[in-house]
A and B are shown apart, each in its own frame.
Chain A
């Protein structure tokens, strides 16, 4: 049986199933048991599973990341949560030097089955230190796996996959996805790690993105339909390992590629995708691939500037005209403008 639930409810549901089915699972994070329950993703867990399974923690991300690693190598399977990506940077030494290397540098003797949930902010004045999507930093490092669910369905399935994996897995949740809804099975399921999802089949060009970027993809695809243009939308889902093959196959079919990134363009995921497409299937390209990311600046708080940081649908439309090598949208066409909230129900505070 499936039904429609929110992304944050899907995270909570997967977490409850994990706690129920795996006695060696524990949840830890600053604010996990608090009344807000990490944007609703951990609400009620302490009451249901007890404080010996569900932990708050000192404001000490560095040691706590190491402590979670220590717990993981000694028989537990922790899921650790930070309310923003930026807080995890205090523990990045542990993630990059220790967790990512552990299995290799112990000659395969020891393993770190650890999930780190990192939440990415946007809008409502989050500003320079609460809205960075730093996924390339983590995706750069062998030994880590990096997942980016784009819907409630992916959120539940990929959280299960992350938990079942015997390696450290970074699990990115875009804050603007928490309130999005999709059809989610009621029973536990997992999705393959390292496999793209073709969200919508199409023939005119390949549109690649991940996480919140998929929301933009769906919006522009809807507009494009009225112009009889049908992109093939590919959700990367897993940034490491990454499924280049599905993207290459799609480009072989369409001959054109646009990547929408959630972060800065410089040294980003789109660069990696395009590099591989150019290397592997250059001759099937009908036009130079394009990418679009956010403005190359720290993200300002004020909405008057922050709205300029993120690519608007109009910006994306222009990139589509570039790869299609023709004008598609009439000059007077009115695109929705960027807002500092995902929808009118969002009133922060973060």
Chain B
């Protein structure tokens, strides 16, 4: 296994990563804030606390690359460059939504940004993404496929089945496991044996795998760079596992630590490891510059919300269109 070199990241890249993470954070905080207006009437799975992985991985995706996501997909959509207005319209159920309001938050798609789709049936997207990589290979198309999955998805049989196929056919798949330790309210220790290692499962299928701290965006960025260079040198799939934590409830806009399903202090420990705060400190950005960035992003975000709120609902004819191609 190759060693992970410590990349000397330039300030500009760091700033871009900060921008990406902060953008996702502010969009989702605004969704959380406005959710109680009861106009976004679909389940939302917020990524607040987990932004570093989406931003650090997607920073490496080029125009030929593709990604596929699952139920917690906002961060991936935005980090990949998905259209914010189309995403918010989708959450509001409007015709200008990325899926014309027919998918909702759990079915984001932006083909121009490379996002094949997001599907909420845990594990299901892993096979579909693998199939896209397979057809890339058969058709001799360039590009990799990044498949974002959670720790829960690795418990599905389809995960192992897809690893096998990706390895068997030397597919350029980057399996990105965001291990946030919880499947809804159930801790990983209640679902997986303590000796079970997600990286080792990949290795057992002949797939090289790496893991890193998922709340350190520089680590995520560097490891992904290394993983992709290994993939391109060896024409093979790679799995990367990042440890992280979701701050808010599994589904919905609220904080839910009061439910007591997480250990005392666990949330605080992870919030102390906030990827945005640590990169901001590392960059040494002045308060004024940071606030200017926040205000600039918020202005754009508010504008997108206004667009979504004033956009039209699909008309009746949309009910029966798109059932068949």
Residue of A nearest to B128 (CB): A70
Q: Is the CB of B158 within 8 A of A97?
A: no
Interface string of B92-113 (1 = CB under 8 A from A): 0000011111110001010100
Q: Is the CB of B165 within 8 A of A64?
A: yes
- Known contacts A66-B127, A106-B107, A110-B109; A76 and B323 CB within 8 A of each other: no
- Known contacts A63-B161, A71-B135; A98 and B324 CB within 8 A of each other: no
Q: How far is the CA of A104 from the CA of B127 in the complex (A)?
A: 20
Number of B residues, CB within 8 Å of A: 41
Q: How far is the CA of A76 from the CA of B138 in the complex (A)?
A: 9
Q: How far is the CA of A64 from the CA of B130 in the complex (A)?
A: 9
Residue of B nearest to A114 (CB): B131
Indicate whether B288 reaches chain A with its CB closer than 8 angstroms. no
What A residues does B165 contact at CB under 8 A? 57-58, 60, 63-64, 67
Q: Is the CB of B103 within 8 A of A106?
A: yes
Indicate whether B322 reaches chain A with its CB closer than 8 angstroms. yes
What B residues does A68 contact at CB under 8 A? 131
Indicate whether A143 reaches chain B with its CB closer than 8 angstroms. yes
Residue pairs across A and B with CB atoms within 8 Å: the count is 143
Indicate whether B164 reaches chain A with its CB closer than 8 angstroms. yes
What A residues does B4 contact at CB under 8 A? none
Interface string of B291-323 (1 = CB under 8 A from A): 000000000000000000000000000000111
Indicate whether A200 reaches chain B with its CB closer than 8 angstroms. no
Q: Is the CB of A107 within 8 A of B98?
A: yes
Q: Which of B138, B157, B164 contacts A71 (CB 8 A)?
A: B138
Q: How far is the CA of A305 from the CA of B139 in the complex (A)?
A: 51
Indicate whether A190 reaches chain B with its CB closer than 8 angstroms. no
- Known contacts A94-B124, A106-B117; A76 and B135 CB within 8 A of each other: yes
Q: Is the CB of B158 within 8 A of A62?
A: yes
Q: Is the CB of A71 within 8 A of B323?
A: no
Q: How far is the CA of A108 from the CA of B321 in the complex (A)?
A: 8
Residue of A nearest to B95 (CB): A107
Nearest Cβ on chain A to B229's Cβ, whole angstroms: 24
Q: Is the CB of A97 within 8 A of B121?
A: yes
What B residues does A74 contact at CB under 8 A? 116, 131-132, 135-136, 139, 141
Q: How far is the CA of A167 from the CA of B107 in the complex (A)?
A: 19
Interface centre among A60, A67, A104, A112 (most CB of B within 10 A): A67
Residue of B nearest to A60 (CB): B161
Q: Is the CB of B164 within 8 A of A58?
A: yes
Q: Is the CB of B97 within 8 A of A107?
A: yes
Indicate whether B168 reaches chain A with its CB closer than 8 angstroms. yes
Q: Is the CB of B103 within 8 A of A71?
A: no
- Known contacts A58-B164, A107-B322; A70 and B121 CB within 8 A of each other: no
Q: How far is the CA of A52 from the CA of B134 in the complex (A)?
A: 11
Interface string of A134-147 (1 = CB under 8 A from B): 00000000110100
Q: Is the CB of B119 within 8 A of A97?
A: yes
Q: Which of A70, A73, A75, A167 contacts B130 (CB 8 A)?
A: A70
What B residues does A76 contact at CB under 8 A? 135, 138-139
Indicate whether A256 reaches chain B with its CB closer than 8 angstroms. no
What A residues does B111 contact at CB under 8 A? 109-110
Residue of A nearest to B145 (CB): A70
- Known contacts A70-B135, A98-B119; A63 and B323 CB within 8 A of each other: no
Q: Which of A69, A104, A167 contacts B131 (CB 8 A)?
A: A69
Q: Is the CB of A167 within 8 A of B161?
A: no
Nearest Cβ on chain A to B11's Cβ, whole angstroms: 38
Q: How far is the CA of A103 from the CA of B101 in the complex (A)?
A: 13
Q: Which of A63, A105, A108, A113 contacts B126 (CB 8 A)?
A: A63
Q: Is the CB of A70 within 8 A of B132?
A: yes
Q: Which of B97, B127, B132 contacts A63 (CB 8 A)?
A: B127
Nearest Cβ on chain A to B82's Cβ, whole angstroms: 13
Interface centre among B117, B157, B161 (most CB of A within 10 A): B161
What B residues does A52 contact at CB under 8 A? 138
What A residues does B259 contact at CB under 8 A? none
Indicate whether B1 reaches chain A with its CB closer than 8 angstroms. no
- Known contacts A60-B161, A109-B111; A70 and B322 CB within 8 A of each other: no
Q: Is the CB of A66 within 8 A of B158?
A: yes
Indicate whether A166 reaches chain B with its CB closer than 8 angstroms. yes
Q: How far is the CA of A26 from the CA of B131 in the complex (A)?
A: 13
Q: Which of B126-169 contact A (CB under 8 A)?
A: 126-136, 138-139, 141, 157-158, 161-162, 164-165, 168
Q: How far is the CA of A121 from the CA of B165 in the complex (A)?
A: 29
Interface centre among B109, B139, B322 (most CB of A within 10 A): B322
What A residues does B184 contact at CB under 8 A? none
Interface string of A24-64 (1 = CB under 8 A from B): 10100000000000000000000000001000011010111
Q: Which 10 A-B pairs have the closest CB atoms?
A: A70-B131, A66-B127, A63-B161, A107-B100, A67-B131, A60-B161, A107-B99, A166-B325, A108-B322, A111-B325
The residues of A with any CB-CB pair to B shorter than 8 Å are: 24, 26, 52, 57-58, 60, 62-76, 93-94, 97-98, 102-113, 142-143, 145, 166-167
Interface contacts beyond A60-B165, A98-B128: sample of 6 additional A-B pairs, CB < 8 Å, sorted by A: A58-B165, A67-B127, A69-B131, A76-B139, A109-B99, A143-B324
Can you list 28 contacts pairing A with B, beta carbon distance less than 8 Å?
A: A24-B139, A58-B164, A58-B165, A63-B157, A63-B158, A63-B161, A67-B134, A69-B127, A71-B132, A74-B132, A76-B135, A94-B127, A103-B322, A103-B323, A105-B102, A106-B103, A106-B107, A107-B98, A107-B100, A107-B103, A107-B109, A108-B325, A110-B109, A110-B117, A111-B325, A143-B323, A143-B324, A166-B324
